[in-house]
Amino acid sequence: MDRRAEMQRVLDMEVKRWSEMSPEQLITELAEVQNYEVESGGKRYQFEVQMLENESDYVHVDVSVDDGRLPYSISPLGQAFLLKRVRYASEHLE
């Protein structure tokens, strides 16, 4: 697997992990930007996860990864997602 494809695979796993959290969990976890490393296939990947928007009906999160080498250390591979907040109208709470 080439370098970019491997980084994309690791990024997809982290995006899945973060996007499975509730909006409330994301707000708590991302009160500050999260920077951490993940090891996969004997290689270390640096992640940055941040809340882009915290709106009344959704949260918007960005996850980016680099492997410490050019060009990705300057321009990381990234993916953003929106997580909608579920609201129930009182008429649906019978």
Of 45-49, 71-75, 87-91, the range with the highest mean pLDDT is: 45-49
Q: What is the pLDDT of residue 44?
A: 96
Q: What is the pLDDT of residue 87?
A: 60
Give me the CATH number covering residue 21: 3.30.1300.30
Residue range 13-68, pLDDT digits in tens: 999 999 999 999 999 999 999 999 999 989 999 999 999 999 999 999 999 999 99
Mean pLDDT throughout 72-89?
86
d(CA 29, CA 21): 10
d(CA 3, CA 70): 12
> Which residues span the domain enclosing 15?
3-92
Residue 92 has pLDDT above 90, yes or no: no
Confidence band for 1, pLDDT divided at 50, 70 and 90: confident
The count of structural domains within the chain is 1
Residue 88 has pLDDT above 50, yes or no: no
How many other CB atoms are there within 10 angstroms of residue 58's CB atom? 14
